[in-house]
Amino acid sequence: MSVEKGLAGIVVAQTELSFIDGQEGVLIYRGYPIEELAGRASFEEVAYLLWYGLLPNRSQLDQFVQQLKAEQTLPGPLLEVMRHYPRSTHPMAVLRTAVSTLGMLDEEADTTDEAANRRKALRLMAKMPTIIAAWERIRNDQEPIPPHEELGHAANYLYMLTGQAPDEAATRAVETYLILLADHGMNASTFACRVAVSTLADIYSAVVAGIGTLKGPLHGGANERAMQMLLEIGSPERAEAYVLDLLARKERVMGMGHRVYKTQDPRARILKGLAARMSDRRWYDIALEVERVFLREMVGKRLYPNVDFYSAPVLYAAGVPIDLFTPTFAISRVVGWTAHILEQYADNRLIRPRAEYVGPKGLKWVPIEAR
Ligand code: ACO
């Protein structure tokens, strides 16, 4: 019996959703390299592509957007319970709990035919930005802002955070970010979703598992920590000493390294370009210096910036609060999660790996008085 720690290199499913070449730095959604989509498509088009396998024509997109808009509002009882969450709760914990509540409030929660699952996937995509924005308002003693009837998914999210129509640069940044993060093969949170539905559990339970898994600092939680690091560094001249100190203490530089990419992460490449074009370049300049020192120190280790590294200055410059970075990741990845969930249901077998037992055997019962 051989153990692959972290399931490294193990292929657990076939998928038509995304292809990653970790040696060449390639990411493809349903046949389209991400470079074709980022900056051209809307996030709604990419969601349609992942769910239905092709880019929508005008009338398909209009209908899709209309269906999405019709699902953006939160049920009253959910908003009501959210007002009772402790104000200091991390937004990822709020999202996890609120999505679980959504499941309780959805009469179709346990109906698992394909049409019902597609409706629920749409509901999750539509409602998650509203949940996060509502929490941002509630924790600041402000009234949640209802979804805007005209704005697209990315712009509406930014609008619901502040009540102001976002500027074009911020909308473009967040839209590109959402597109780049929508799916990524068998990453940890997607795997968690697939494991959950492989037991024929419902889609809400699976997405709750996905959110819980994304929250960790080795996965989606890294973007928030990368930004905290940039803030702590404060200026490019301080980056070198900061990185050297981290490495000397054998700590990780958040936003660096990847299980699959052994070259530049193609998403990081696009986000780096975007960060360079944002009006507030201060954090980008610090990030550049962190990257330079890290690559110099880790030469030969094949560690490069991952998607979370340059998404930090992009989201920050777009005005997204730091602890909403990982929830914003979830707003995007819920599309990939649910697309994988649909694939798993369509060709399911219980996911149940084995463990190698390395403990003792044959011990004899000892009465409690004698232990
Ligand atoms: N900083 C410093 N050293 C690192 C880093 C890092 N960010 N990442 C990996 N290493 C080193 C490890 O210390 C290890 O060194 P060693 O061989 O001398 O012991 C070597 O690189 C391999 O690291 P592993 O942890 O075995 O690699 P694994 O594939 O298991 O982990 C991971 C990948 C978790 C992403 C890792 O690179 C990491 O912790 N990065 C920082 C957290 C992060 O940015 N996560 C986001 C990933 S992208 C995403 O999920 C959206």
Residue 298 sits in a domain whose CATH number is 1.10.230.10
Residue minimizing CA distance to atom 4 of ligand 1: 252
My answer on whether 57 and 101 are in the same domain is yes
Please give the helix or strand (H or E) that residue 27 lies within, else none. strand 26-29
| Domain of residue 143, CATH code | 1.10.580.10
Residue 150's domain spans which residues?
A: 17-216+322-346
Using an 8 Å Cβ cutoff, are 287 and 309 in contact?
Answer: yes
| DSSP codes, 82-113 | HTTS-TT--HHHHHHHHHHHHHHH-TTTT--S
How many A from CA of 219 to the centre of ligand 1? 10
Using the atom order of ligand 1, give the atom closest to the CA of residue 301.
Answer: 21
Looking at the domain assignment, is residue 362 inside a domain?
no
Known catalytic residue at 308? yes
Looking at the domain assignment, is residue 363 inside a domain?
no
The 3-state DSSP class for residue 13 equals: coil
Tokens of 79: 């908003």
pLDDT value of residue 1: 80
pLDDT value of residue 8: 93
Quote the CA–CA distance of 327 and 332 in Å, as a whole number.
9
Quote the CA–CA distance of 189 and 182 in Å, as a whole number.
12
Using an 8 Å Cβ cutoff, are 287 and 313 in contact?
Answer: yes
Known catalytic residue at 285? no
How many A from CA of 284 to the centre of ligand 1? 22
The 3-state DSSP class for residue 134 equals: helix
Quote the CA–CA distance of 212 and 97 in Å, as a whole number.
10
Quote the CA–CA distance of 90 and 231 in Å, as a whole number.
19
Q: Is the dihedral of CA 99, 105, 111, 115 positive or negative?
A: negative
Using an 8 Å Cβ cutoff, are 183 and 332 in contact?
Answer: no
Query: How many structural domains does the chain have?
Result: 2
Quote the CA–CA distance of 329 and 334 in Å, as a whole number.
9
Q: Which of 263, 303, 310, 315 to mutate to test the pocket of ligand 1 (most atoms within 8 A of CB)?
A: 303
Please, which residues bridge with residue 18 across strands?
A: 29
Torsion of CA 222, 50, 149, 314, to 10 degrees: 30
pLDDT value of residue 2: 87
Domain boundary among 271, 301, 317: 317
Residue minimizing CA distance to atom 13 of ligand 1: 252
Does the Cβ of 308 fall within 6 Å of ligand 1?
yes
Of 153, 184, 258, 340, catalytic? 258
pLDDT value of residue 297: 97
Mean pLDDT by 10 residues, the chain (371 residues): 92 97 97 97 98 98 98 98 97 98 97 95 98 98 97 98 94 97 98 98 98 97 96 97 97 96 95 92 95 96 95 96 98 98 97 96 98 96
How many A from CA of 224 to the centre of ligand 1? 16
Tokens of 231: 């803030």
Please, which residues bridge with residue 20 across strands?
A: 27
322 phi and psi angles, rounded to 5 deg: -60, -45
Instruction: Tell me the HSE value of 356 on the side-chain side, using a 13 A CA sphere.
Output: 6
My answer on whether 155 and 297 are in the same domain is no
How many A from CA of 300 to the centre of ligand 1? 14
Q: Which of 218, 244, 301, 337 to mutate to test the pocket of ligand 1 (most atoms within 8 A of CB)?
A: 218
Report which DSSP code applies to 370: G
My answer on whether 48 and 146 are in the same domain is yes
Does the Cβ of 220 fall within 6 Å of ligand 1?
yes
